[in-house]
Protein backbone atom coordinates (compact mmCIF):
# COMPACT_ATOMS: atom_id res chain seq x y z
CA UNK A 1 0.00 0.00 0.00
CA UNK A 2 2.83 2.36 0.94
CA UNK A 3 4.43 1.66 -2.42
CA UNK A 4 1.22 2.61 -4.22
CA UNK A 5 0.59 5.92 -2.54
CA UNK A 6 4.29 6.79 -2.60
CA UNK A 7 3.92 6.81 -6.38
CA UNK A 8 3.23 10.34 -7.58
CA UNK A 9 1.49 9.07 -10.71
CA UNK A 10 -1.03 7.32 -8.48
CA UNK A 11 -1.64 10.51 -6.53
CA UNK A 12 -2.39 12.52 -9.65
CA UNK A 13 -4.36 9.72 -11.36
CA UNK A 14 -6.65 8.87 -8.48
CA UNK A 15 -7.96 12.42 -8.24
CA UNK A 16 -8.99 12.41 -11.90
CA UNK A 17 -11.02 9.22 -12.02
CA UNK A 18 -13.29 8.32 -13.67
CA UNK A 19 -11.99 9.16 -17.15
CA UNK A 20 -14.16 10.75 -19.85
CA UNK A 21 -15.84 7.46 -20.72
CA UNK A 22 -16.62 6.75 -17.10
CA UNK A 23 -13.83 4.25 -16.46
CA UNK A 24 -11.83 3.62 -13.32
CA UNK A 25 -8.98 1.71 -14.94
CA UNK A 26 -10.68 -1.30 -16.57
CA UNK A 27 -13.91 -0.86 -14.64
CA UNK A 28 -17.06 1.18 -15.04
CA UNK A 29 -18.21 2.45 -18.43
CA UNK A 30 -21.71 2.97 -19.74
CA UNK A 31 -23.35 -0.33 -20.70
CA UNK A 32 -26.91 0.91 -20.91
CA UNK A 33 -29.82 0.44 -23.32
CA UNK A 34 -29.92 3.13 -26.01
CA UNK A 35 -33.15 4.61 -24.63
CA UNK A 36 -31.21 5.73 -21.54
CA UNK A 37 -28.03 6.93 -23.23
CA UNK A 38 -29.21 10.47 -23.92
CA UNK A 39 -30.49 10.77 -20.36
CA UNK A 40 -27.13 9.64 -19.01
CA UNK A 41 -25.37 12.30 -21.06
CA UNK A 42 -27.91 14.90 -19.96
CA UNK A 43 -27.37 13.91 -16.33
CA UNK A 44 -23.62 14.16 -16.70
CA UNK A 45 -23.87 17.64 -18.19
CA UNK A 46 -26.31 18.83 -15.53
CA UNK A 47 -24.14 17.44 -12.76
CA UNK A 48 -20.94 19.02 -14.06
CA UNK A 49 -22.73 22.37 -14.25
CA UNK A 50 -24.19 22.01 -10.75
CA UNK A 51 -20.80 21.06 -9.38
CA UNK A 52 -19.41 24.47 -10.22
CA UNK A 53 -22.61 26.44 -9.71
CA UNK A 54 -22.31 28.49 -6.55
CA UNK A 55 -26.05 28.73 -5.88
CA UNK A 56 -26.51 24.94 -6.17
CA UNK A 57 -23.59 24.26 -3.88
CA UNK A 58 -24.81 26.81 -1.35
CA UNK A 59 -28.30 25.32 -1.28
CA UNK A 60 -26.82 21.84 -0.83
CA UNK A 61 -24.53 23.04 1.94
CA UNK A 62 -27.36 24.82 3.69
CA UNK A 63 -29.59 21.73 3.61
CA UNK A 64 -26.75 19.47 4.69
CA UNK A 65 -26.42 21.61 7.82
CA UNK A 66 -30.03 22.47 8.59
CA UNK A 67 -31.89 19.45 7.23
CA UNK A 68 -29.54 16.44 7.37
CA UNK A 69 -27.85 17.70 10.52
CA UNK A 70 -24.28 17.73 9.26
CA UNK A 71 -21.57 17.54 10.27
CA UNK A 72 -22.32 14.20 11.89
CA UNK A 73 -20.16 13.60 14.98
CA UNK A 74 -16.94 11.65 15.05
CA UNK A 75 -17.36 9.78 18.31
CA UNK A 76 -14.55 8.17 20.31
CA UNK A 77 -15.90 4.78 21.37
CA UNK A 78 -14.07 4.62 24.68
CA UNK A 79 -15.76 1.59 26.17
CA UNK A 80 -15.51 -0.41 22.96
CA UNK A 81 -11.83 0.56 22.69
CA UNK A 82 -11.22 -0.58 26.28
CA UNK A 83 -13.11 -3.82 25.76
CA UNK A 84 -11.06 -4.71 22.69
CA UNK A 85 -7.84 -3.51 24.32
CA UNK A 86 -6.01 -2.25 21.24
CA UNK A 87 -6.35 0.58 18.70
CA UNK A 88 -8.45 3.65 19.51
CA UNK A 89 -11.79 3.29 17.75
CA UNK A 90 -13.69 6.27 16.43
CA UNK A 91 -17.14 5.98 14.92
CA UNK A 92 -18.27 8.31 12.13
CA UNK A 93 -21.88 8.73 13.14
CA UNK A 94 -23.78 8.62 9.84
CA UNK A 95 -26.51 6.88 11.84
CA UNK A 96 -27.27 10.33 13.26
CA UNK A 97 -27.92 11.86 9.85
CA UNK A 98 -31.59 12.61 9.07
CA UNK A 99 -33.43 9.38 8.14
CA UNK A 100 -30.80 7.35 9.97
CA UNK A 101 -28.14 6.54 7.42
CA UNK A 102 -25.59 8.01 5.01
CA UNK A 103 -28.01 7.39 2.11
CA UNK A 104 -29.57 10.85 2.54
CA UNK A 105 -26.30 12.55 1.49
CA UNK A 106 -26.71 11.21 -2.04
CA UNK A 107 -30.51 11.16 -2.21
CA UNK A 108 -30.76 14.82 -1.23
CA UNK A 109 -28.06 15.83 -3.71
CA UNK A 110 -29.70 13.92 -6.57
CA UNK A 111 -33.18 15.23 -5.65
CA UNK A 112 -31.93 18.81 -5.94
CA UNK A 113 -30.23 17.90 -9.20
CA UNK A 114 -33.44 16.34 -10.57
CA UNK A 115 -35.41 19.44 -9.66
CA UNK A 116 -32.79 21.59 -11.39
CA UNK A 117 -33.09 19.40 -14.49
CA UNK A 118 -36.84 20.00 -14.54
CA UNK A 119 -37.82 16.42 -13.73
CA UNK A 120 -41.22 15.81 -12.12
CA UNK A 121 -40.69 12.42 -10.63
CA UNK A 122 -38.07 10.29 -8.91
CA UNK A 123 -37.68 6.55 -9.05
CA UNK A 124 -35.25 4.46 -7.04
CA UNK A 125 -34.40 0.97 -5.90
CA UNK A 126 -33.88 0.01 -2.31
CA UNK A 127 -32.47 -3.02 -0.49
CA UNK A 128 -32.57 -2.40 3.24
CA UNK A 129 -35.03 0.41 2.65
CA UNK A 130 -32.64 3.15 3.76
CA UNK A 131 -32.07 4.50 0.27
CA UNK A 132 -35.81 4.26 -0.44
CA UNK A 133 -36.58 6.25 2.69
CA UNK A 134 -33.86 8.78 1.84
CA UNK A 135 -35.17 9.20 -1.73
CA UNK A 136 -38.76 9.49 -0.55
CA UNK A 137 -37.52 12.17 1.86
CA UNK A 138 -35.62 14.01 -0.87
CA UNK A 139 -38.69 13.84 -3.11
CA UNK A 140 -40.91 15.29 -0.36
CA UNK A 141 -38.41 18.08 0.25
CA UNK A 142 -38.07 18.93 -3.45
CA UNK A 143 -41.78 18.50 -4.16
CA UNK A 144 -41.37 15.62 -6.61
CA UNK A 145 -43.43 12.45 -7.09
CA UNK A 146 -41.64 9.29 -6.03
CA UNK A 147 -41.83 5.58 -6.75
CA UNK A 148 -39.58 3.05 -4.99
CA UNK A 149 -38.85 -0.53 -6.11
CA UNK A 150 -38.05 -3.11 -3.48
CA UNK A 151 -37.63 -6.88 -3.69
CA UNK A 152 -40.40 -8.82 -1.99
CA UNK A 153 -37.90 -10.64 0.25
CA UNK A 154 -36.65 -7.24 1.46
CA UNK A 155 -40.19 -5.90 1.85
CA UNK A 156 -40.74 -8.65 4.38
CA UNK A 157 -37.54 -8.23 6.34
CA UNK A 158 -37.70 -4.43 6.32
CA UNK A 159 -41.40 -3.83 6.90
CA UNK A 160 -40.75 -0.75 9.02
CA UNK A 161 -38.95 1.06 6.21
CA UNK A 162 -41.72 0.18 3.75
CA UNK A 163 -44.21 1.95 5.97
CA UNK A 164 -41.85 4.90 6.43
CA UNK A 165 -41.62 5.37 2.65
CA UNK A 166 -45.39 5.33 2.36
CA UNK A 167 -45.69 7.90 5.16
CA UNK A 168 -43.31 10.10 3.19
CA UNK A 169 -45.68 9.99 0.23
CA UNK A 170 -43.84 7.49 -1.97
CA UNK A 171 -45.37 4.57 -3.83
CA UNK A 172 -43.63 1.31 -2.98
CA UNK A 173 -43.60 -1.36 -5.69
CA UNK A 174 -42.85 -4.89 -4.66
CA UNK A 175 -40.57 -6.76 -7.08
CA UNK A 176 -41.43 -10.42 -7.20
CA UNK A 177 -39.08 -11.74 -9.88
CA UNK A 178 -35.55 -13.20 -9.81
CA UNK A 179 -33.97 -13.29 -6.37
CA UNK A 180 -36.54 -10.72 -5.17
CA UNK A 181 -33.85 -8.55 -3.56
CA UNK A 182 -31.81 -5.43 -4.38
CA UNK A 183 -30.54 -6.63 -7.77
CA UNK A 184 -34.04 -7.20 -9.06
CA UNK A 185 -35.22 -3.89 -7.60
CA UNK A 186 -32.47 -2.15 -9.64
CA UNK A 187 -33.59 -3.95 -12.83
CA UNK A 188 -37.14 -2.83 -12.24
CA UNK A 189 -36.20 0.76 -11.38
CA UNK A 190 -34.13 0.92 -14.58
CA UNK A 191 -37.12 -0.40 -16.57
CA UNK A 192 -39.29 2.30 -15.01
CA UNK A 193 -36.67 4.91 -15.88
CA UNK A 194 -36.49 3.59 -19.46
CA UNK A 195 -40.24 4.02 -19.88
CA UNK A 196 -40.43 7.43 -18.17
CA UNK A 197 -37.03 8.87 -18.92
CA UNK A 198 -38.30 12.21 -20.19
CA UNK A 199 -40.01 13.17 -16.93
CA UNK A 200 -38.24 11.02 -14.36
CA UNK A 201 -34.85 10.99 -12.70
CA UNK A 202 -33.49 7.68 -11.45
CA UNK A 203 -31.84 8.17 -8.07
CA UNK A 204 -29.37 5.31 -8.03
CA UNK A 205 -28.46 4.71 -4.40
CA UNK A 206 -24.89 3.53 -4.61
CA UNK A 207 -21.61 3.99 -6.48
CA UNK A 208 -22.82 1.67 -9.20
CA UNK A 209 -24.52 1.58 -12.60
CA UNK A 210 -23.65 3.35 -15.84
CA UNK A 211 -21.49 6.49 -15.83
CA UNK A 212 -22.01 9.11 -14.38
CA UNK A 213 -23.73 7.45 -11.40
CA UNK A 214 -20.64 5.99 -9.68
CA UNK A 215 -19.01 9.43 -9.83
CA UNK A 216 -22.06 11.44 -8.73
CA UNK A 217 -22.86 9.19 -5.78
CA UNK A 218 -19.23 9.13 -4.65
CA UNK A 219 -19.02 12.92 -4.82
CA UNK A 220 -22.21 13.44 -2.82
CA UNK A 221 -21.04 10.91 -0.21
CA UNK A 222 -17.48 12.21 0.01
CA UNK A 223 -18.60 14.73 2.62
CA UNK A 224 -18.27 11.85 5.12
CA UNK A 225 -14.51 11.63 4.67
CA UNK A 226 -14.03 15.39 4.38
CA UNK A 227 -15.68 15.91 7.75
CA UNK A 228 -13.91 12.94 9.35
CA UNK A 229 -10.54 14.29 8.24
CA UNK A 230 -11.09 17.61 10.01
CA UNK A 231 -12.65 15.98 13.06
CA UNK A 232 -9.94 13.41 13.66
CA UNK A 233 -7.23 16.01 13.13
CA UNK A 234 -8.90 18.18 15.74
CA UNK A 235 -9.28 15.33 18.24
CA UNK A 236 -5.94 13.62 17.73
CA UNK A 237 -3.77 16.16 15.97
CA UNK A 238 -3.15 13.72 13.14
CA UNK A 239 -4.76 11.48 10.51
CA UNK A 240 -5.94 7.97 11.42
CA UNK A 241 -4.07 4.72 10.69
CA UNK A 242 -7.08 2.66 9.63
CA UNK A 243 -10.44 3.27 7.96
CA UNK A 244 -13.08 0.56 7.92
CA UNK A 245 -16.41 0.53 6.10
CA UNK A 246 -18.87 -2.09 4.92
CA UNK A 247 -19.28 -2.56 1.15
CA UNK A 248 -22.57 -3.49 -0.50
CA UNK A 249 -22.59 -1.35 -3.62
CA UNK A 250 -19.97 0.62 -1.74
CA UNK A 251 -21.25 4.18 -1.30
CA UNK A 252 -20.57 4.69 2.40
CA UNK A 253 -17.11 3.20 1.92
CA UNK A 254 -16.29 5.48 -1.05
CA UNK A 255 -17.74 8.37 0.98
CA UNK A 256 -15.30 7.78 3.82
CA UNK A 257 -12.30 6.61 1.78
CA UNK A 258 -12.31 9.09 -1.12
CA UNK A 259 -10.77 11.96 0.81
CA UNK A 260 -7.90 9.77 2.05
CA UNK A 261 -6.94 7.78 -1.05
CA UNK A 262 -3.65 9.64 -1.51
CA UNK A 263 -2.76 9.47 2.19
CA UNK A 264 -0.71 6.88 4.03
CA UNK A 265 -3.71 5.22 5.66
CA UNK A 266 -4.80 1.59 5.57
CA UNK A 267 -8.34 1.08 4.34
CA UNK A 268 -10.48 -1.99 4.66
CA UNK A 269 -13.75 -2.69 2.87
CA UNK A 270 -15.92 -5.37 4.45
CA UNK A 271 -18.27 -7.43 2.31
CA UNK A 272 -21.05 -9.73 3.45
CA UNK A 273 -19.69 -13.22 4.12
CA UNK A 274 -23.20 -14.55 4.75
CA UNK A 275 -23.10 -18.15 5.92
CA UNK A 276 -19.45 -18.46 4.85
CA UNK A 277 -17.74 -18.33 1.43
CA UNK A 278 -17.52 -22.15 1.23
CA UNK A 279 -21.33 -22.45 1.47
CA UNK A 280 -21.86 -20.28 -1.62
CA UNK A 281 -24.45 -18.33 0.40
CA UNK A 282 -22.78 -14.94 0.65
CA UNK A 283 -22.32 -11.62 -1.13
CA UNK A 284 -18.50 -11.40 -1.07
CA UNK A 285 -17.83 -10.40 -4.68
CA UNK A 286 -14.09 -9.97 -4.26
CA UNK A 287 -13.75 -13.28 -2.44
CA UNK A 288 -15.91 -15.32 -4.80
CA UNK A 289 -16.60 -13.29 -7.92
CA UNK A 290 -15.11 -12.50 -11.33
CA UNK A 291 -15.26 -9.62 -13.79
CA UNK A 292 -18.50 -9.07 -15.68
CA UNK A 293 -21.04 -6.52 -16.82
CA UNK A 294 -24.22 -5.91 -14.87
CA UNK A 295 -26.70 -3.05 -14.73
CA UNK A 296 -24.60 -0.62 -16.69
CA UNK A 297 -21.00 -1.18 -15.63
CA UNK A 298 -18.04 -3.52 -15.81
CA UNK A 299 -16.99 -4.69 -12.38
CA UNK A 300 -16.65 -7.72 -10.08
CA UNK A 301 -19.70 -9.91 -10.06
CA UNK A 302 -20.95 -13.17 -8.56
CA UNK A 303 -21.84 -15.15 -11.68
CA UNK A 304 -21.86 -18.66 -13.09
CA UNK A 305 -19.76 -19.91 -16.03
CA UNK A 306 -22.42 -18.75 -18.51
CA UNK A 307 -22.51 -15.19 -17.20
CA UNK A 308 -25.77 -15.44 -15.30
CA UNK A 309 -25.81 -13.63 -11.99
CA UNK A 310 -25.87 -15.82 -8.90
CA UNK A 311 -28.23 -15.52 -5.97
CA UNK A 312 -26.67 -14.00 -2.90
CA UNK A 313 -27.28 -14.18 0.80
CA UNK A 314 -26.67 -11.83 3.68
CA UNK A 315 -28.42 -11.19 6.95
CA UNK A 316 -28.18 -7.56 5.91
CA UNK A 317 -30.45 -6.54 3.02
CA UNK A 318 -28.20 -3.60 2.16
CA UNK A 319 -25.20 -5.83 1.47
CA UNK A 320 -27.17 -8.63 -0.19
CA UNK A 321 -26.09 -7.80 -3.73
CA UNK A 322 -24.19 -9.71 -6.43
CA UNK A 323 -22.04 -6.84 -7.64
CA UNK A 324 -19.97 -3.94 -6.38
CA UNK A 325 -19.15 -0.41 -7.49
CA UNK A 326 -16.53 -0.23 -10.29
CA UNK A 327 -14.26 2.15 -8.39
CA UNK A 328 -13.95 -0.48 -5.66
CA UNK A 329 -12.89 -3.04 -8.28
CA UNK A 330 -10.21 -0.62 -9.43
CA UNK A 331 -9.04 0.04 -5.86
CA UNK A 332 -8.95 -3.70 -5.16
CA UNK A 333 -6.89 -4.56 -8.25
CA UNK A 334 -4.48 -1.71 -7.61
CA UNK A 335 -3.96 -3.00 -4.07
CA UNK A 336 -4.89 0.35 -2.55
CA UNK A 337 -7.74 -1.07 -0.45
CA UNK A 338 -7.92 -4.43 1.25
CA UNK A 339 -11.29 -6.15 0.99
CA UNK A 340 -12.40 -8.78 3.43
CA UNK A 341 -15.72 -10.08 4.68
CA UNK A 342 -17.65 -10.69 7.86
CA UNK A 343 -20.15 -13.53 8.20
CA UNK A 344 -23.75 -13.14 9.37
CA UNK A 345 -22.76 -14.46 12.80
CA UNK A 346 -19.79 -12.11 13.15
CA UNK A 347 -21.98 -9.14 12.18
CA UNK A 348 -24.72 -10.14 14.61
CA UNK A 349 -22.16 -10.47 17.36
CA UNK A 350 -20.73 -7.01 16.60
CA UNK A 351 -24.31 -5.65 16.51
CA UNK A 352 -24.77 -6.78 20.12
CA UNK A 353 -21.32 -5.71 21.30
CA UNK A 354 -21.81 -2.11 20.15
CA UNK A 355 -25.32 -1.96 21.53
CA UNK A 356 -24.15 -3.09 24.99
CA UNK A 357 -20.82 -1.31 25.29
CA UNK A 358 -21.73 2.03 23.72
CA UNK A 359 -25.51 2.25 23.76
CA UNK A 360 -25.57 2.51 19.96
CA UNK A 361 -27.60 0.02 17.94
CA UNK A 362 -25.92 -0.14 14.52
CA UNK A 363 -27.48 -1.12 11.21
CA UNK A 364 -26.67 -4.73 10.32
CA UNK A 365 -24.74 -3.38 7.31
CA UNK A 366 -22.52 -1.22 9.56
CA UNK A 367 -22.19 -4.17 11.96
CA UNK A 368 -20.10 -5.87 9.24
CA UNK A 369 -17.57 -3.02 9.43
CA UNK A 370 -17.64 -3.23 13.24
CA UNK A 371 -17.02 -6.98 13.05
CA UNK A 372 -13.73 -6.25 11.24
CA UNK A 373 -12.81 -3.69 13.91
CA UNK A 374 -13.52 -6.31 16.57
CA UNK A 375 -11.12 -8.68 14.80
CA UNK A 376 -8.43 -6.13 14.04
CA UNK A 377 -8.24 -3.71 16.97
CA UNK A 378 -7.05 -6.11 19.71
CA UNK A 379 -3.92 -6.94 17.72
CA UNK A 380 -2.94 -3.28 17.25
CA UNK A 381 -1.09 -1.06 19.70
CA UNK A 382 -3.03 1.50 21.73
CA UNK A 383 -1.55 4.46 19.89
CA UNK A 384 -3.12 3.40 16.59
CA UNK A 385 -6.26 5.22 15.47
CA UNK A 386 -9.11 3.62 13.58
CA UNK A 387 -12.26 5.16 12.12
CA UNK A 388 -15.23 2.88 11.51
CA UNK A 389 -18.01 4.25 9.35
CA UNK A 390 -21.21 3.72 11.30
CA UNK A 391 -23.22 4.07 8.12
CA UNK A 392 -26.68 3.63 9.61
CA UNK A 393 -28.69 3.00 12.71
CA UNK A 394 -30.15 -0.35 13.58
CA UNK A 395 -33.78 0.44 14.41
CA UNK A 396 -34.88 -1.03 11.08
CA UNK A 397 -33.13 -4.31 11.93
CA UNK A 398 -34.46 -4.80 15.45
CA UNK A 399 -37.43 -6.89 14.27
CA UNK A 400 -35.24 -9.14 12.16
CA UNK A 401 -32.66 -9.64 14.88
CA UNK A 402 -35.46 -10.52 17.31
CA UNK A 403 -36.69 -13.09 14.80
CA UNK A 404 -33.22 -14.60 14.42
CA UNK A 405 -32.96 -14.82 18.21
CA UNK A 406 -36.38 -16.47 18.40
CA UNK A 407 -38.07 -13.54 20.16
CA UNK A 408 -41.67 -12.88 19.10
CA UNK A 409 -42.44 -9.13 19.07
CA UNK A 410 -45.91 -9.26 17.60
CA UNK A 411 -47.78 -10.36 20.74
Partner 1 sequence: MKKTKIAITLEKLKEQSKKAFIPYIMAGDPDIETTIERVMLLEKCGADIIELGIPFSDPLADGPTIQQAAGRALKSGTTLRKVIAAVRGLRHHTRIPIILMTYYNPVFKYGEELFVKDAIEAGVDGVIIPDLPPEEAGSFIKLSRPSGPGSGLDTIFLVAPTSTEARIKSIVSACRGFVYYVSITGITGSKLSIDEAFRKHIDTVKQLAKKPVAVGFGVSTPGEAQTVGRLADGVIVGSAIVKKFHEEPGNAEGFIKDLREAINSSNQ
Contacts of 276 (CB under 8 A, 6+ apart): 282, 343
Cβ atoms of residues 87 and 152 within 8 Å: no
Nearer to partner 1, 39 or 386 (CB): 39
Please tell me whether residue 245 binds partner 1 under the rule CB under 8 A.
no
Q: In sequence order, what DSSP letters do the residues of 238-274 get, joined into one string? A: S--SEEEEE-SSSHHHHHHHGGGTTSS-EEEEEEEEE
Q: Which of residues 257 and 321 has its CB atom nearest to partner 1 in the complex?
A: 321
Which stretch of DSSP H or E encloses residue 10?
A: helix 8-14
Q: E strands of 79-144, at which residues?
A: 88-93, 121-126
- Residues 289-308, mask of contacts with partner 1 (x by CB under 8 A): ---xxxxx-x--x-x-xxxx
**Of 34 and 278, CB closest to partner 1:** 34
User: What is the strand order of the sheet 27-28 is part of?
Assistant: 23-24, 27-28, 297-301, 290-294
Question: What residues from 33 to 52 belong to the interface with partner 1 (CB under 8 A)?
Answer: 33-39
Shortest distance in whole angstroms from residue 129 CB to partner 1: 21
φ/ψ of 392, rounded to 5, equals: -160, 165
The nearest distance, CB 175 to partner 1, in angstroms, is: 11
Of 306 and 383, the one with the shorter C-beta distance to partner 1 is 306
Cβ count within 10 A of residue 169: 13
Residues 6+ apart with CB under 8 A from 319: 127, 246, 247, 248, 271, 272, 283, 365, 368
Among 190, 261, 267, 360, binds partner 1 (CB under 8 A): 190
Cβ 194 to partner 1, closest distance in Å? 6
Q: With CB under 8 A as the contact rule, which of the stretches 181-189, 216-224, 363-371, 384-392 interacts with partner 1? A: 181-189
Distance CA 228, CA 214 (A): 21
- In whole angstroms, the minimum distance from the beta carbon of 51 to partner 1 comes to 23
DSSP 3-state assignment of 147? Answer: strand
Cite the active site residues: 103, 125, 391
Q: Does 30 bind partner 1 (CB under 8 A)?
A: yes
From 26-34, 49-57, 281-289, 382-390, give the range in contact with partner 1 by CB under 8 A: 26-34
Instruction: Please provide residue 123's backbone torsions phi and psi, each rounded to the nearest 5 degrees.
Output: -130, 150
- The CB-of-195 to partner 1 minimum distance in angstroms stands at 4
CB nearer to partner 1: pick between 193 and 286: 193
Which position among 54, 198, 238, 405 is part of the footprint of partner 1 (CB under 8 A)? 198
Q: How many residues bind partner 1 (CB under 8 A)?
A: 38
Q: Does 195 bind partner 1 (CB under 8 A)?
A: yes
d(CA 349, CA 173): 33
- Closer CB to partner 1, residue 103 or residue 298? 298
**Using CB under 8 A, which of the segments 30-38, 81-89, 368-376, 392-400 binds partner 1?**
30-38
- What is the C-alpha to C-alpha distance for residues 150 and 332, in angstroms, rounded to an integer? 29
187 binds partner 1 (CB under 8 A): yes
Could you tell me the smallest distance in angstroms from the CB atom of residue 77 to partner 1?
Answer: 40
**Which residue's CB is nearer to partner 1, number 42 or number 58?**
42
Considering the complex, state which of residue 100 and residue 209 has its C-beta at the smaller distance from partner 1.
209
- Cβ count near 82 (within 10 Å): 12
Contact with partner 1 (CB under 8 A): which of 70, 116, 183, 396?
A: 183
DSSP SS3 for 17: coil
**Strand locations in 99-241 (E):** 121-126, 145-151, 171-175, 200-202
x-or-dash string of contact with partner 1, 303-342, rule CB under 8 A: x-xxxxx---------------------------------
- The sign one gets for the Cα dihedral 127, 133, 134, 136 is positive
Query: Under the criterion CB under 8 A, does residue 177 sit at the interface with partner 1?
Result: yes
Total length of the chain: 411
State which of residues 14, 18, 27, 29 lies at the interface with partner 1 (CB under 8 A): 29
Q: Which residues bind partner 1 (CB under 8 A)?
A: 21, 29-39, 177-178, 183-184, 186-187, 190-191, 194-198, 292-296, 298, 301, 303, 305-309
Amino acid sequence: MRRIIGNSLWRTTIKKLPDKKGYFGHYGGRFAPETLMSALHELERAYMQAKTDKSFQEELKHLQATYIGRPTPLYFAKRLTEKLGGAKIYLKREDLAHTGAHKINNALGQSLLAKRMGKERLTAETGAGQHGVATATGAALAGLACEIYMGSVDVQRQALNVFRMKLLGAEVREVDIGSKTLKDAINEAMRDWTANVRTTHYVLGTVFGPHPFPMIVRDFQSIIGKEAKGQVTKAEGRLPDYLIACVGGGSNAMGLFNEFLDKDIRMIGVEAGGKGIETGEHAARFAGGSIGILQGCKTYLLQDDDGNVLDTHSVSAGLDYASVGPEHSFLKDSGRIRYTYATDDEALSAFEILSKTEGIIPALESAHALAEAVKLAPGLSRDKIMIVNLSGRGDKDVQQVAKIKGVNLSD
